[in-house]
Amino acid sequence: MRQPLVYVLVINWNGIEHLAECFDTLLAGTYPNTRFLLIDNASTDASVAFVRERYGNDPRFEILELPENLGWSRGNNAGIAHAMAASADYIFLLNNDTATDADAVAHLVAMAAEHPETGALAPKMLLYSAPAILNSVGIECSIIGSSWDRGIGRLDGPQWDTPVPVLAACGGAAFLCVEALRKAGVLPTDFDIYLDDLDLGLRIWNAGYEIRTCPAARVRHKFSATMGQGKDARRKYYLNTRNRTYVILRDFPISRWPLIKVLFLIGEMRAIGRAILDGAWWRAMAHVRSWFAGMAYMPRAARERVRRWRTGQSRCRFWHLIQKDCLFFRGVPFPEDGWYAPRDGVRPIAARARLEVAAGRLRVVLANCYPALGTVSIDVFVNGQPVARLETHDRDERVLDTPAGELVFVARRIFLAEETGEAFDCGGWLAVEGAQERP
C-alpha cells in the first residue's frame, strides 16, 4: 500500500544557527515517505552552503533558492508549488527555529488518513526553552478579527490532549492537505505577515474541509514573547491591526457585518484610549492608518469574495468557532525560570521553578491563594536530590540548609486558569528568603 508523500517545507532567511537542529530532528523522524525542502529567501549568511554540505548527499533533501526575499507567505507559496509539482499528498510548513519530535509526522499522517475530511492539522507547539509551556495548539479568533494562539502561555497537560476543531493551524507548524490547497488556494500575499495563516484556515473551512488539532504531534519552537523594539515593534503592531480588517473584509459573513461594525468600533476606541493613556501615540496612529488601509483594500476583498462565490466557497462554515464573548486576547504572562511576577509577598510558579543559590540557610514559604481548590504540594530538590516536600491548605514554611547549586521546586498538582480565574496555570505560591544568587 502506497504511503502518502509528505513534503516538509522549512522557510529560512539568515537562520543558519537554527538549521542543524531543525533538520537533524526531522531526519530522526519515523515516517519513511518524507522529503525536506529548504526554502531560502536569498540569505546572505551561508545557510544554503551549510545545508548543501551537511545534507547534500541525502536524496530526501532539496533546496529552493529564491532570487530575493519574498517574505513568509510568498516564499512558502513557492515551496508549496514545488511540492505540488512533485506530487506531494501533504505539506508540512515549519519554521526554521523548531525541533520536531521523531513521531510527529507519523501522527499527523495517521490522523489525516483517519479523517479524510481534514484540510489541515495543528500540531502541539511547545516553547523550546520551556517545553512544559504551550506555544500554540491551533488558532483562535474574535468577532472583530483579533487572533491568538490557542493555549499560548498555558501549562501542557491532559486538557490539551484531545483533538478539537480549530480555525487554523499556526503557520510556524502547519500540516496541510494538498487537495484542500488545490481547492481553497494557497497563502494570501496581501498580508505581508501576520494573520495570513488564519486567512488560509478560514478558506480551507469554506472549501468544505475541517481543521483539527493533533496534540500527539509535538514541535518545540524558539518563540519570542516580545514584540521587539522601535520600528520592528511598531510595524508588527500596525500589520496585526490592519490585517484584522483584511480578515473581516475577506472572510467574515456579510450578514454579520452590522454587529461586527459596532463591536469593531468599540474595540478600536478601547485600544486607542489605552494607547493614549499609556502615552503610546504611535499605537493610536497605527489604528487610524489601518482604517484607511482597510477602506483602500475593500475592492480587492470584494473581488476575492466574488471568486469564492463563483466556486461555491462563500458559505462561512467556520463561524461557530469564532469567539463572540471577547474582543481581544487578554494576554498571558510567561514565567522566567518558572517564576511569575510576585504578588502579596509570594511568587506563583509554573509546573517547575529553579534558582541558582549560594550555600546557606533558606526560609521557604509556601502559600495557598485558593484553599477551596485543594492542597498545594511541592517537592524541593537541591542539585537533583530531593530535600523536602511542602504541602498546605493555607501556609507552610520550612528552613533548609543548602549547598551551593540549583534549587528546584516541582509542583505535584496544577491549579488551572479555568479554576482560579487567573490568566495562567500555577503550581503554587512561594517565597524564598535568605537566598543569594550563586556567583
Q: What phi, psi does 339 have (nearest 5°)?
A: -105, 135
Residues 6+ apart with CB under 8 A from 345: 365, 367, 431
> How many structural domains are present in the chain?
3
339, part of any domain = no
Residues 212 and 240 in one domain: no
Residues 56 and 184 in one domain: yes
d(CA 7, CA 85): 11
Residues 117 and 237 in one domain: no
pLDDT computed for residue 229 by the predictor: 54
Give pLDDT < 50 ranges for the chain. Answer: 226-227, 438-439
d(CA 210, CA 49): 39
CATH number of the structural domain spanning residue 178: 3.90.550.10
Count the alpha carbons within 13 Å of 296 in the hemisphere toward its beta carbon.
Answer: 9
Residues 364 and 215 in one domain: no
Dihedral (CA of 15, 20, 25, 28) sign:
positive
330, part of any domain = no
Residues 173 and 28 in one domain: yes
358-395 b/e (C-beta count within 10 Å ≥ 16 → b): eeeebebbbbbbeeeeeebbbbbbbeeeebeebebeee
Burial bucket for residue 330 (CB in 10 Å: 0-12, 13-18, 19+) = exposed
Q: Tens digit of pLDDT for each residue in 275-284?
A: 999 999 999 9
127, part of any domain = yes
- Among residues 321, 355, 386, the one where a domain terminates is 321
Residues 6+ apart with CB under 8 A from 34: 5, 6, 7, 8, 26, 60, 105
CATH number of the structural domain spanning residue 428: 2.60.120
Residues 239 and 208 in one domain: no
pLDDT computed for residue 227 by the predictor: 46
d(CA 93, CA 116): 20
Judged by DSSP in three states, 322 sits in coil
Residues 84 and 133 in one domain: yes
326, part of any domain = no
438, part of any domain = no
Nearest one of 207, 211, 209 to 164, comparing CA atoms: 211
The answer to whether residues 425 and 416 touch, using CB atoms and an 8 Å cutoff, is yes
Residues 124 and 195 in one domain: yes
Q: Tens digit of pLDDT for each residue in 61-118?
A: 999 999 999 999 999 999 999 999 999 999 999 999 999 999 999 999 999 999 999 9
The answer to whether residues 431 and 369 touch, using CB atoms and an 8 Å cutoff, is no
Query: How far is CA 66 from its chain centroid?
Result: 26
Residues 216 and 135 in one domain: yes
Q: What phi, psi does 76 have (nearest 5°)?
A: -65, -35
252, part of any domain = yes
pLDDT computed for residue 151 by the predictor: 96
pLDDT computed for residue 435 by the predictor: 59
Residues 88 and 178 in one domain: yes
Q: State which H helix or E strand residue 196 sits in.
A: helix 196-206
pLDDT computed for residue 232 by the predictor: 83
439, part of any domain = no
- Among residues 192, 221, 250, the one where a domain terminates is 221
- Among residues 194, 221, 248, the one where a domain terminates is 221
Range of the domain at 252: 230-321
Residues 184 and 268 in one domain: no
Which of the 8 DSSP states describes residue 355? E
69, part of any domain = yes
pLDDT computed for residue 219 by the predictor: 98
Nearest one of 9, 25, 43, 40 to 128, comparing CA atoms: 25
Q: What's the predicted TM-score (pTM) here?
A: 0.93
Please give the grid coordinates belonging to residue 294.
482597510
Dihedral (CA of 309, 186, 192, 100) sign:
positive
Dihedral (CA of 6, 251, 226, 335) sign:
negative
Residues 6+ apart with CB under 8 A from 307: none
Residues 211 and 238 in one domain: no
Strand segments, DSSP code E, in 41-117 are 61-65, 90-95, 98-100
